[in-house]
Structure 1
């Protein structure tokens, strides 16, 4: 399926990035919509992968100039959003477009692009918490509690999605295959 834009979305720790990487490893020719954020880079990240990193001030200027297709204030008061130019870039590329966004972004995108299909990547809550703890070593219990509260809030909006893929521990390959079937692409 070419020239199509799909949303892949899920709470932190559900495995969206692992599934997207699995799609690429399985030969799916895709183009990621790159989200802009005001959060700090983590180890191993660079500007443009997986986000465009902006200062809070630059992000706010882009909001004031109506440069964002959608944006929201998310975790720890950081901003996340996708520019109008980024949506246009992916729509013109001729590949399967993958847009990783939060549920607030899904809500906005579905209003502005009613034909877009949204895939919820989910996992059991106990596994999500364990993945966050493993990834974000040394964070406080308060941080974990905040992330888990946001995850539960996120799951109240499951109705926004067209598909749900449960990415339980040990089933990543099955989850990748399920997403490939939704995208209607073949393994190369």
Structure 2
């Protein structure tokens, strides 16, 4: 059996990483999604154990103390997100590759943990203005949270250099095709040919 690999997709919120990850999961049965743990409120249509493992801050902090996370962080004040080691092991035991849809610092920490076994992809849009348009079009943000996400995105763009590859999501179909090629090359050859 081939050793499982890790595909890490990180991006400022609104860059399209979740759309790209869902596309890869639909095309590749050998790929399985790593469900993150978080302390934020569950949104309508989200399911515990499918979208996230929703935890109270106390539960989350207890797991930190037990070293149950590959990586974790306080993304926003009082809002914790992390990757459970048991989740990655579950997927690899099924003989599959794991894909992560995580924030930028989480992606960097996952790459450090998995090293050459992982491909870390930074997804971005061509401009902050386009990002603002996409986040506004979602209609899920208050003006305050929108401004908070834009400020965070500007900060996160500074970490692009810490990833193996950058995927600019200016035209979705092209970005999806490039992501599939990166996946194929990394699984088959252990590297990404540009």
Same fold (TM over 0.5): yes
Unaligned runs of 5+ in 2: 186-194
Q: Distance in 2 between matches of 1:112 and 1:88?
A: 14
Q: CA deviation at 1:130?
A: 1.6
Is residue 2:8 matched to residue 1:7? yes
Partner of 2:128: 125
C-alpha deviation, 1:158, in angstroms = 0.6
Q: Are 2:169 and 1:167 equivalent residues in the alignment?
A: yes
Larger relative contact order, structure 1 or 2 (CA cutoff 8 Å, min sep 6): 1
TM-score of the pair, normalised by structure 2: 0.86
CA distance 1:138–1:9, shift in 2 (3 Å)? closer
**Pairwise CA RMSD of aligned residues?**
1.8
CA distance in structure 1 between the aligned counterparts of 2:160 and 2:121, rounded to whole angstroms = 10
Q: CA deviation at 1:176?
A: 0.9
Alpha-carbon offset, residue 16 of structure 1: 0.9
TM-score (norm 1): 0.89
Q: Give distance in 2, aligned partners of 1:13 and 1:76.
A: 20
CA distance in structure 1 between the aligned counterparts of 2:141 and 2:89, rounded to whole angstroms = 39
Structure 2 CA distance for partners of 1:98 and 1:137, relative to 1, 3 Å: closer
Residues 102-135 of structure 1: CA distance to partner in whole angstroms, max 9, x if unpaired?
2212222222221121011111222211221222
Question: For the residues of structure 1 that align with 2:62 and 2:139, how far apart are their CA atoms?
Answer: 30
Whether the 8 Å contact between 1:72 and 1:80 is mirrored in structure 2 is yes
Q: How does 1:15-30 map to 2 (within 5 A)?
A: 15-25=16-26, 27-29=27-29, 30=31
- How many residues were matched structurally? 181
Residue 52 of structure 2 aligns to a residue whose secondary structure is strand
Post-superposition offset of 1:138: 5.7
How big is the shift at 1:77?
3.1
Offset of residue 76 of structure 1: 4.4
Once residues 67 and 168 of structure 2 are traced to their aligned partners in structure 1, the CA distance between those partners, rounded to angstroms, is 36
Match of 1:114, SS state, is: helix
**Alignment of 1:47 onto 2:48:** yes
Aligned equivalents of 1:86, 1:161: Cα separation in 2: 23
